Structure 1
Amino acid sequence: MMTIEIITTEELEKKLEAGEKLELVDVREDEEVAQGMIRGAKHIRMMTIPENLGQFDKEKEYIFICRSGARSENVCYYMQDQGYKVRNMIGGMLNWAGEVVVK
């Protein structure tokens, strides 16, 4: 099985603080993201990823986020199979110590 590139919550926080433009996709359910998301993340629920492939660009790298890192890892395998560049944020939002925004 192909491996998935990962990023830790600390690494991601540093990149965002440094002003890097990143493509973040939160795949949690609506009631979960209602508790707060990482600033700049797009919300596309895991089960709706296949029908939303048109929103993704194969030239860009996407960082997938969920609560613990398990669902986002599954999404990463799927997206990588479709030919997209992906990274999984390991530890998920449970491990995220940075700022969150509530929509």
Structure 2
Amino acid sequence: MTNYQTINVETLQSLLNQKEINLIDVREVYEYEDNHIPEAVNIPLSVLVENTDQFKKEEHYHIICRSGNRSGQACQYLSGLGIATTNVDGGMLDWEAL
């Protein structure tokens, strides 16, 4: 069972156009450097556990990766710590197709 929300890239684009959101890209550094959404902060899934101090429980985070798999894992982990998250389904693959 998941205790986080899921949105598609169209909804993400709309949110980014409306307001500032916390967007976290959990792909590896080389993937992020290759192409990323300008507003995204890179915290790779492989080092997420060591970087949970960067997340505030009173804020909401949108998590993206290449396809939605790693971001889903990140959402599962962070929501288990009481951090509100939304998984961007389809990830950068869908974003690049917009």
Instruction: Using structure 1 for the length normalisation, give the TM-score.
Output: 0.88
Deviation at 1:98, TM superposition (A): 7.9
In 2, Cα distance between equivalents of 1:98 and 1:40: 18
Mark the runs of 5 or more structure 2 residues left unpaired by the alignment: none
Q: Which has the higher helix share?
A: 2
Instruction: Map 1:37-56; keep pairs closer than 5 Å.
Output: 37-56=36-55
Q: Provide the residue aligned with 1:8 in structure 2.
A: 8
SS of equivalent residue, structure 1 residue 59: coil
* Cα distance between partner residues in 1 of 2:31 and 2:70: 13
Q: Is the 8 A contact 2:27 2:42 kept in 1?
A: yes
Residue identity in the other structure for 2:67: S
Identity, % of aligned positions? 38
Distance 1:21 1:33 in 2: 20
Q: Which runs of 5+ in 1 are unaligned?
A: none
Quote how far apart the aligned CAs of 1:4 are.
2.5
Q: How many residues align?
A: 98
2:29 match: 30
CA distance in 2, matches of 1:44, 1:2: 21
User: RMSD of the TM alignment (CA)?
Assistant: 1.5
Distance of 1:98 and 1:16 partners within structure 2 = 17
**Which runs of 4 or more aligned residues in structure 1 lie more than 6 Å from their structure 2 counterparts after TM superposition?**
none
